[in-house]
């Protein structure tokens, strides 16, 4: 296998890990108020992802860094052409992170509601725009002979791209609901379970239309297999939910996410960014990649560091594996100003 192909596959794996892990905490952020009717319930939801959400974003940084190093031409075209969309995602992620940290700094309902808006905004925007971006990467965008994107933000807002945004948002919501059901108890758990059964049909229909549309226009014969696996995963998540098997339901949506990413990357290869202007201008794993020596050095670094990252993340999830409920949430304790000393 060529190293350029190896790194294309590895980048697909990194995006799979990102969507699997960050997908459920985006889902929790989008569900903060629909599921959390009281302050204690909202704190339960935030605490389910509190120890892991920032670690999950490591996969995004690694995927972006790997694209920059392994496929600099792909990176240049993607990040310049999709600049506004990616900028909105970055702003949303920054606001989301700040909101998690500052939400509990002041004992005020108004204060917390304002930061809750930041969490919701920072979860909804990336969930939708990642779907829009990847749908356009697979379908192709206008690229000229120099590898420059010649469209605009409106170019990305085509029917296939918008459907991609609906699919990722609904899939992350469903994935998040299964994670909440897995990690909570009591009323929050029951509400997450009931809501997942309502969201699942929307996700299944939208996902089926999107993947079949992509498959009919640009898929390979073998990519029907991951499409089928994704469909089976979503249906299995519903059956597992009805059987009260929260872990199996969460794993099933995770498998559906992984299979969907595989189907998209499989239909994209050997291109990394097709051109709708002229197929001769397509960016491929060959003409967009770095030198073989660079890819060789990167491969050794990946072999050494990947097990370290996986081990750390596995350990963190193991440490915070127990369920939580409102009974575990103490009263708000916000430090007040230090009293000034009295007269001597």
Neighbours of 197 (CB within 10 A): 14
Task: Give the chain's domains with CATH numbers.
Answer: 3-319 (1.20.1630.10)
The span from the CA of 289 to the CA of 322, in Å, is: 44
Strand partners, 273: 283
For residue range 9-45, list pLDDT tens digits in order.
Answer: 999 999 999 999 999 999 999 998 888 888 888 888 9
- Residues of the chain with pLDDT > 90, as a percent, come to 62
For residue 338, what are its two tokens?
A: 């230090």
- What is the Cα 75 distance to its own chain's centre? 19
Within 10 Å of residue 251's Cβ, how many Cβ atoms?
17
pLDDT digits (tens, 9 = 90+) for 132-172: 999 999 999 999 998 899 988 889 999 999 999 999 999 99
CA nearest 10: which of 258, 275, 237, 299? 299
pLDDT tens profile 225-249: 999 999 999 999 999 999 999 999 9
pLDDT at 315 over 90: no
pTM given for the model: 0.90
Query: What is the C-alpha separation between 193 and 232, in angstroms, rounded?
Result: 19
Rank 58-67, 205-214, 294-303 by mean pLDDT and report only the highest. Answer: 205-214
Measured CA distances, 313 to 55, 165, 200, 209 (Å): 7, 28, 28, 34
- Give Cβ neighbours of residue 157 (< 8 Å, ≥ 6 apart): 132
Q: What is the pLDDT of residue 235?
A: 96
Residue that is written with structure tokens 């969907």 in the block: 260
Average per-residue pLDDT in the chain? 89
Phi-psi region of 271 (alpha: psi -120 to 50; beta: other; left: phi over 0): beta
Q: pLDDT exceeding 70 applies to what percent of the chain?
A: 94
pLDDT greater than 80 at residue 61: yes
Task: Check whether 91 has a pLDDT greater than 70.
Answer: yes
Q: Of 3, 12, 15, 45, which Cα lies nearest the Cα of 28?
A: 45
């Amino acid at each position: 296998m060529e190293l350029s192909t190896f790194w294309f596959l590895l980048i697909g794996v990194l995006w799979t890990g990102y969507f699997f892990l960050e997908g459920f905490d985006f889902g929790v952020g989008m569900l903060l108020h629909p599921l959390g009717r009281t302050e204690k319930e909202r704190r339960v939801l935030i605490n389910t992802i509190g120890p892991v959400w920032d670690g999950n974003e490591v996969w995004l940084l690694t995927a972006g860094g790997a694209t920059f190093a392994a496929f600099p031409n792909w990176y240049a075209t993607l990040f310049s052409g999709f600049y506004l969309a990616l900028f909105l995602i970055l702003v949303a992620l920054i606001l989301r992170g700040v909101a998690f940290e500052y939400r509990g700094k002041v004992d005020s309902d108004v204060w917390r509601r304002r930061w809750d808006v930041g969490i919701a905004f920072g979860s909804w925007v990336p969930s939708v725009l990642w779907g829009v971006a990847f749908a356009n990467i697979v379908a192709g965008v206008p690229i000229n002979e120099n590898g420059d994107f010649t469209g605009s933000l409106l170019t990305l807002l085509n029917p296939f791209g918008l459907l991609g945004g609906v699919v990722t948002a609904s899939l992350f919501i469903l994935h998040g609901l299964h994670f909440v059901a897995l990690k909570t108890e009591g009323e929050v758990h029951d509400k997450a379970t009931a809501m997942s059964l309502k969201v699942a049909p929307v996700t299944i229909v939208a996902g089926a239309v999107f993947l079949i549309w992509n498959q009919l226009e640009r898929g390979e014969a073998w990519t029907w297999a991951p499409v089928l696996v994704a469909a089976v995963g979503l249906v299995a998540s519903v059956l597992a939910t009805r059987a009260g098997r929260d872990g199996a339901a969460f794993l099933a949506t995770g498998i559906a996410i992984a299979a969907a990413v595989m189907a998209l990357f499989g239909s994209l290869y050997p291109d990394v960014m097709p051109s709708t202007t002229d197929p001769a201008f397509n960016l491929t794993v060959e003409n967009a990649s770095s030198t073989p020596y660079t890819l060789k050095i990167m491969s050794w670094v990946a072999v050494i560091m990947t097990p370290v990252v996986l081990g750390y993340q596995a350990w963190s999830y193991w440490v915070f594996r127990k369920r939580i409920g409102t009974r575990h949430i103490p009263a708000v304790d916000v430090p007040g100003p230090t009293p000034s000393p009295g007269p001597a």
